[in-house]
Chains A and B, each alone.
Chain A
Amino acid sequence: MQLPGRPVPNTFEYIEATALREPQRLALVQDNRSWTYRDLYLDLSHVTHALLGLGVKRSDRVAVGMTGFREGLLLLLALENVGAATLSFVPENDPEKEQLFAHVDRAFSDVVQRVPGHVRFALIGDNFFARAPEAGLADPPRPPCVALEPHEPARISRTSGSTGRSKFMVLNRRAQEWWIHRSATTRRLRPESRSMPLGTFVLNANLVSSSACLRMGAAVFRLTRSNMAAHDITHITCLPSMLEQLLDSLPPGYVARVPVDIATNGGFASAQLRARAERVLRGSVRSRYGANEVGGICEVMDVQGIGVVGAGVDLRIVDEFGHELPQGRLGIISVRTPGMVAEYIGDPEASKAAFKGGWFQSGDWGTLIGPRTLKLAGRYDDLVNAGGLKVPAATVEAKVRELVNPTDCAALAVNLDGGATTLGIALVCDTADRVGVRRAIAQGVDLGAIVGARVVFLDRLPRTDNGKIDRVALHELLASPPPGSV
């Protein structure tokens, strides 16, 4: 594909234009420190030069794991400007480290990492980011800017690992640009927005959301939760569990001064969580449905799990053999988007199973209940078989929350006791009357033929580093309940 002209600009080029036009405009806040667009531009120029000095070049694959949000962002954006493909990791306790280092040429971190022989590791200290304070916009000289072609690798992301080991994927430039474009338009970001992504850059949505903000002159915030009340945040991007934690951390009776638009990714936001967030943060909660392999599918899912399929998403419902099913039939959700990847790196079998004929076969069940209108049923490996009727575990979970009001709760389709137990329920619930709770669930959860449910009481639910339920660990807990949990 030969295209005239040059590729679309990278995030650095947008930041540069804003730095020249409005140098004092607020770009970034991290706790008690803030940076203008001028500061950010000079920092990025400095880091770009430093990376070039280290020999980083176009198409290098670079893993970045920084403790500080700003430092991580600077490295990721400067690497983008050099034309490298980036992969983010958690500097400490990232269970996938061994696997992710296999996919890169270089690794940068402020924590010493043990890397394989082919990977060049650089320990990044504070002095790496230090630049002469008197530098003007033309000093240091403008670094070279690499804007990648649509087919070149821009980012390596990974599945959440909620169903086992993470799978890694290469997002080409077009895909990553599509993610950024969607983030900017569907979240209604504006130049005056003050956006706060929660979580690490391991969630690609956080880099995407930050890039979308900085391309339009908006400000990105990284605050300790206790500090949030002091800032008029307008947008939050997070996982549902992070939103729950954020709400818990706010001072009692806190109500946001300005309405906050909340976008949750990576899981369904329950009706209770939405109501609570809307009461405290005064804005709407957009529970987004998507997948790391394809990007956003529905921008807003209502509490029934119904949403309009987004522009640019081709969606069909198929049976287990891949045959397309007519409107109204429950089946596996299969999608095709401009933001999708081609395969899982180094995993041909899983790739073959998930990517068929240019479509991504998701791990989710759903129904098209009208043209371009999807009803999400749940993960297809998480449908509870109730006397032949398949019921999503998420539905059960919502009912359990309603019945016994636990602090936290997860329901999982299991296959225990020779198939006699098909439903696992894990509760975080301060109750002396466990029998009463079990009875309430048994009476209230109308699953017909389901009699085989295992209820365990835990101190907390096992979660992965990014806050998602660790389904593998939970399966193990349900299969072998620890003493005192039954």
Chain B
Amino acid sequence: MDLPGRPIPTTFEYIEAFAFREPKRPALVQDQQAWNYQELYLDIVRVIRVLHDIGVKRGDRVAVGASGFQAGLVLLLACENLGAVTISFLHEQDADLADVFTLADWVFSDFAQTVPEGVQFIAIDDAFIKRMRAVDVADPRPLPRCTLDLDEPQRISRTSGSSGRSKFMLLKRQAQEHTVRTGAENGGYRPDSRLLVVGPFVMNAVLVRSSACLRIGAAVLELSHSGLAGHEITHVLALPALLEGVMRSLPPGHVSRSRVDVQTLGGFISPQMRERAMRVFGGPVSSRYGTNETTGICDDVDANGVGIVSPGVDIKIVDESGRELPQGELGVIAVRTPGMVEEYIGLPEASAAAFRDGWFHSGDWGMLIAPRVLRLVGRHDDLVIVGGVKAPAMTVESKVRELVAPDDCTVLAVNLDAGATNLGIALVMNAPDREAVRRAIAAGLDPGMPIGARVLFLDAIPRLKSGKVDRVALHVLFANPPAEAV
């Protein structure tokens, strides 16, 4: 495909235009530090020069794991502007580090990392910063720039790993651009928006939404929880679990002075949390449904799991053999979007199972209750049997929350006691009478039939760094419960 002209601009080019037009416009806040568009632009220019000098070039795969948000963002945007493919990792305790480094040509981090032979590790240390500061921003040489074509790889993202090992995927420029644009549209960002992002760049949505804001002149904030109340924010982007953390850190009775739009992704938000967030932030709370393989599917899914399919998403409900089912029938959700990947890197079997004839067969169950209206039922591999009837774990979880009001709760399909126990319920709650809690759950979930449920009382639900439930660790806990949890 030969297209006239030049490819669509990088995020850096948008920042550059603002830096020239409105240099003092606020761009980024990280705790007590703030950068305007000119400052952010110049920092990226410096890093572009340094990266170019050390040899980072178009098509190189660069893993970035910086502890600071601004440092990570500047590195990612500079790499993008050089045409490199970026992968983000957690600088500490990333369970997938070995896989990440296998995929990379370069690794940049402010923490020492052990990388395989052939991979170049660059420490973001004092020497790097000194070198960066020494860059002459008025250097008359043309600044290296590379805008990728739509079919070139731009980003490597990964599945959350909540049900096992992460799978890695290559996002082409078209996919990442589509995700940035729909991020701006769905997020409702405006030039005067101040977006609080809660989460690491490992969540591609954090880079995508930050880029969406910086392309229109809005500001991005990354704040420690204690500093939250002192800032005017207009939008929040978070995983449900991380949103819980944000709200917990706010002073008791805190209510935002002006309306804040809250958007969650990467998991279902319970009605209780939605209600609480609306009370605290005074704005709408939307729960996006999507997958890492395809990006957003519904911009908002309500408390009943019902949402309108987003523009640009082709959707069908299929049975286990891939046959399309009519409206009203429950089946597996299959989608096709401009933001999708084509395979999992190095996993031909998993790829063949998930990507069929251009469609991604998600791990989720749902039904079309009307044209373009989806009812999400739950994860395909997460149906639990309650009273002999299959039910989505999240429906059961919602019911448990309603019955015993725990601080936190997760429900999992298990297969224990030779099949006699098929429901695992993990609770975080201060309950002096655990038996009464068990009775309330049993009575509330299934008044007629006995259920094979194991209820555990934990100090905290095991979670991944991204905030998602660590389902593998939870399975281990259900199989071998610590004495104090029973």
Residues of A within 8 A of B339 (CB): 5
**Least Cβ–Cβ distance between B312 and chain A, in angstroms:** 4
0/1 string, B1-30, CB within 8 A of A gives 1:
111111111000110110011000000000
**Beta-carbon contact of B5 and A338 below 8 Å:** yes
**For residue B12, which residue of chain A has the nearest CB?**
A311
Specify the chain A residue showing the minimal Cβ separation from B21: A308
Q: Beyond A4-B172, A14-B311, A151-B2, list 13 extra A-B contacts (CB 8 Å).
A: A3-B151, A6-B312, A6-B337, A9-B312, A16-B311, A17-B309, A147-B312, A149-B1, A175-B5, A185-B216, A311-B14, A355-B4, A370-B20
Cβ of A16: which chain B residues have Cβ within 8 Å of it? Answer: 311, 372
- Select the residue from A1, A4, A172, A311 with max chain B CB neighbours within 10 A: A4
Given A6-B314, A8-B312, decide whether A150 and B1 contact each other with a Cβ distance below 8 A. Answer: yes
Quick one: CB contact mask for A146-169 with B, threshold 8 Å, 1 for yes?
010111000000000000000000
- Bound together, the chains give a CA A202 to CA B191 distance in angstroms of 30
Q: How far is the CA of A2 from the CA of B14 in the complex (A)?
A: 27
Kindly state whether residue A59 has any CB partner on chain B within 8 Å. no
Question: Which residues of B353-407 have CB atoms within 8 Å of chain A's CB atoms?
Answer: 358, 370-373
A residues in contact (CB < 8 Å) with B: 1-9, 13-14, 16-17, 20-21, 137-138, 141-142, 147, 149-151, 172, 174-175, 178, 181, 185, 188, 190-191, 215-216, 294, 300, 308-312, 314, 336-342, 355, 358, 370-373
Bound CA–CA A253/B373 (angstroms): 50
Most chain A CB inside 10 Å of its own CB: which residue of B4, B21, B174: B4
Instruction: Quote the shortest CB–CB distance from B313 to chain A (angstroms).
Output: 8
- Report yes or no: B4 in contact with A3, Cβ–Cβ below 8 A: no
Q: What is the bound-complex CA distance between A7 and B178, given in angstroms?
A: 10
CA distance in complex: A137, B372 (Å): 11
Interface residues in chain B, defined as those with a beta carbon under 8 Å from any beta carbon in chain A = 1-9, 13-14, 16-17, 20-21, 149-151, 172, 174-175, 178, 181, 184-185, 188, 190-191, 215-216, 294, 308-312, 314, 336-342, 358, 370-373
When chains A and B are docked, how far (Å) is the Cα of A115 from the Cα of B7? 38
Tell me the minimal C-beta distance from A462 to chain B in angstroms.
Answer: 33
Contacts of B188 in A (CB 8 A): 191
Contact A150–B3 (Cβ < 8 Å): yes
How many contacting A-B pairs (Cβ < 8 A)? 129
User: Quick one: given A3-B172, A5-B339, are A20 and B5 in contact (CB under 8 Å)?
Assistant: no
Beta-carbon contact of A137 and B6 below 8 Å: no
Q: Please, how many angstroms separate the alpha-carbon atoms of A138 and B184 in the complex?
A: 29
Taking a contact as CB atoms under 8 Å apart, the answer to whether B370 and A138 are in contact is yes
Q: Tell me what chain A mostly uses at the interface: helix, strand, loop, or mixed.
A: loop
Do residues A340 and B4 form an inter-chain contact, with CB atoms below 8 A?
yes
Let me know if B3 and A151 touch, CB within 8 A.
yes
A311 contacts B5, CB within 8 Å? no
B9 / chain A contacts, CB cutoff of 8 Å: 311-312, 338
Q: Which residue of B lies closest to A21 (CB)?
A: B308
18 pairs of residues in contact across A and B, judged by CB atoms under 8 Å: A6-B337, A6-B338, A8-B178, A9-B312, A9-B338, A13-B311, A17-B310, A21-B308, A142-B371, A150-B3, A300-B21, A311-B17, A311-B215, A312-B13, A337-B6, A338-B3, A338-B6, A340-B5
What's the Cα separation between A248 and B7 when bound, in Å? 42
Smallest beta-carbon distance A369→chain B, Å: 12
Among A21, A150, A310, contact of B150 (Cβ-Cβ < 8 Å): A150
- Note all chain B residues with C-beta closer than 8 A to A3: 150-151, 172, 174, 338
* A1 pairs with B151, CB closer than 8 A: yes
Given A138-B370, A311-B16, A312-B13, also A8-B7 (CB < 8 A):
no
Minimum C-beta distance from B349 to chain A (A): 19
Cβ-neighbour of A341 out of B4, B175, B191 (below 8 A): B4
B contact residues around A8 at 8 Å (CB): 178, 181, 312, 338
User: B4: nearest residue on chain A (CB-CB)?
Assistant: A342
Taking the closest CB of chain A, its distance from the CB of B201, in whole angstroms, is 22
Contact between A137 and B13 (Cβ–Cβ < 8 Å)?
no
CB proximity of B218 to chain A, nearest CB, Å: 11
Contacts of A7 in B (CB 8 A): 338
Q: With CB as the reference atom, state the residue of chain B lying closest to A355.
A: B4
Which 8 pairs, one residue from A and one from B, show the smallest C-beta to C-beta distance?
A1-B1, A9-B312, A312-B9, A340-B5, A5-B340, A4-B342, A342-B4, A13-B311
A232 vs B294: C-alpha distance when bound (angstroms): 40
Q: Please state if B370 and A5 are interface contacts (CB–CB under 8 Å).
A: no
Q: Which residue of A lies closest to B2 (CB)?
A: A151
Q: Given that A8-B178, A372-B20 are known contacts, is A336 also in contact with B6, CB under 8 Å in the complex?
A: yes
In whole angstroms, how far apart are the Cα atoms of A337 and B3 in the complex? Answer: 11
Q: A1-B149, A308-B20 are in contact. Are A17 and B311 (CB under 8 A)?
A: yes
By a CB distance below 8 angstroms, the chain B residues around A294 are 5
Which B residue's beta carbon lies closest to that of A173?
Answer: B3
Residues of A within 8 A of B20 (CB): 308, 370-373
Given A5-B340, A310-B17, A20–B185 Cβ distance below 8 Å? Answer: no
Note all chain B residues with C-beta closer than 8 A to A172. 3-4
Rounded to whole angstroms, the CA-CA distance of A137 and B190 in the bound complex is 30
Tell me which residues across on chain A come within 8 A of B294, comparing CB atoms: 5
With a CB–CB cut-off of 8 A, which chain B residues contact A21? 308
Please name all residues of chain B whose beta carbon is closer than 8 Å to the beta carbon of A314 when the two chains form the complex.
Answer: 6
Specify which chain A residues have a CB less than 8 angstroms from the CB of B311 in the assembled complex.
9, 13-14, 16-17, 215
**B372: which A residues are within 8 A, CB to CB?**
16-17, 20, 142
Q: Which residues of A contact B358 (CB under 8 A)?
A: 4-6
Q: Which residue of A lies closest to B312 (CB)?
A: A9
Q: Distance in Å from the Cβ of A147 to the closest Cβ of chain B?
A: 8
Q: Which of A6, A16, A150, A191 has most chain B Cβ within 10 Å?
A: A6
A14 to B149, CA, bound (A): 25
